[in-house]
């Protein structure tokens, strides 16, 4: 199974290193035709405007949209999540191209600037059950986005509680979020929808490879389904 890693900008080397720790080769993707050689794709974190400009320059958007539409497994981390979202709000989103496909709205810099970057322990029961190990996962949030709303086909894998008075931007951005108490609000930070996985944080910057392992399993399950439906349609 060849896993592509979009290698325009950002933490693609760290994803490739995490895959290597699992014995899997990550293939750097910089041109549309290179997508033909991989069965799944990771879109790393970085800076989504810069990444979008480089993707436009290399004429990658049509091929990336086709990859998602064909049902091939794609995991977006941080800026990669922004790329996969159908809609993005927040600073400097005007005109920025997105791949889309993930039925959600993201806020690009939900938690504030680089200085407001933080780490948090996340409870992700579905992945802990599948991958074993400790019940929580370290979430590294760097100028991180958050998911403001999701469609009915989107499964929420993880959220975090934040104090509503922590940043000035939060109250307006959070209007559509559920409140858990008057001062704490839940913010969605990881989701899955069919062939798509998306995280607002950076698992590739931790030593824990369970997110990568989960994606590889998801990719082989989605791949099996795709080849089953291809052979069924051939029989028809």
202 tagged catalytic:
yes
Stretch that binds ligand GLN, among 46-54, 61-69, 124-132, 151-159 (CB under 6 A): 46-54
Cα 157 from chain centroid (whole Å): 12
15 tagged catalytic:
no
46 is in an annotated binding site: yes
- 132-151 positions binding ligand GLN, by CB under 6 A: 142-145
101 is in an annotated binding site: no
- Residue 144's φ and ψ, nearest 5 degrees, are -85, 150
The reply to whether 45 sits near ligand GLN by the rule CB under 6 A is yes
78 tagged catalytic:
yes
Secondary structure in 3-state letters for the chain: CCEEEECCCCCHHHHHHHHHHCCCCEEEECCHHHHHHCCEEEECCCCHHHHHHHHHHCCCHHHHHHHHHCCCCEEEECHHHHHHEEEEECCCCCCCCCCCCEEEEEECCCCCCHHHCEEEEEECHHHHHHHCCCCEEEEEECCCCEEEEECCCCEEEEEEEEECCCCCCHHHHCCCCCECCCCEEEEEEEEEECCEEEECCCHHHCCCCHHHHHHHHHHHHHHHHHHHHHHHHHHC
Q: Which of 38, 63, 78, 196 binds ligand GLN (CB under 6 A)?
A: 78
131 is in an annotated binding site: no
Residue among 78, 104, 107, 212 flagged as catalytic:
78
119 is in an annotated binding site: no
Q: Which of 43, 79, 146, 147 binds ligand GLN (CB under 6 A)?
A: 79
Total of residues contacting ligand GLN (CB under 6 A): 13
- 85-114 positions binding ligand GLN, by CB under 6 A: 108-109
Residue among 14, 15, 107, 204 flagged as catalytic:
204
Q: How far is the CB of 47 from ligand GLN (least distance, A)?
A: 5
The reply to whether 47 sits near ligand GLN by the rule CB under 6 A is yes
Catalytic residues: 78, 202, 204
Binding residues for L-glutamine: 46-48, 108, 142-143
Which residues of this protein are in contact with ligand GLN, per CB under 6 A? 45-48, 78-79, 82, 108-109, 142-145
């Amino acid at each position: 199974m060849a896993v592509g890693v979009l290698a325009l900008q950002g933490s693609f080397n760290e994803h490739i290193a995490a895959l290597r720790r699992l014995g899997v080769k990550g293939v750097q993707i910089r041109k549309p035709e290179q997508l033909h050689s991989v069965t799944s794709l990771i879109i790393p974190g970085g800076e989504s405007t810069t990444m979008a400009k480089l993707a436009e320059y290399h004429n990658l958007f049509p091929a990336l949209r086709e990859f998602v539409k064909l049902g091939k497994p794609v995991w977006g981390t941080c800026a990669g999540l922004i790329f996969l979202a159908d809609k993005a709000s927040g600073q400097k989103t005007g005109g920025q191209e997105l791949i889309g496909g993930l039925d959600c709205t993201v806020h690009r810099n939900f938690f504030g600037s680089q200085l407001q970057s933080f780490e948090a322990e996340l409870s992700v029961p579905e992945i802990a059950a599948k991958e074993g190990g400790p019940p929580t996962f370290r979430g590294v949030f760097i100028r991180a986005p958050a998911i403001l709303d999701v469609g009915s086909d989107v499964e929420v894998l993880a959220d975090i509680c934040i104090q509503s008075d922590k940043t000035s931007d939060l109250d307006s951005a959070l209007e559509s979020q559920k409140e858990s108490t008057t001062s704490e609000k839940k913010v969605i930070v990881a989701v899955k929808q069919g062939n798509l996985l998306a995280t607002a944080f950076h698992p590739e910057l931790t030593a824990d490879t369970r997110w990568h392992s989960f994606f590889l399993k998801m990719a082989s399950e989605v791949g099996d389904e795709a080849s089953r439906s291809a052979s069924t349609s051939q029989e028809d």
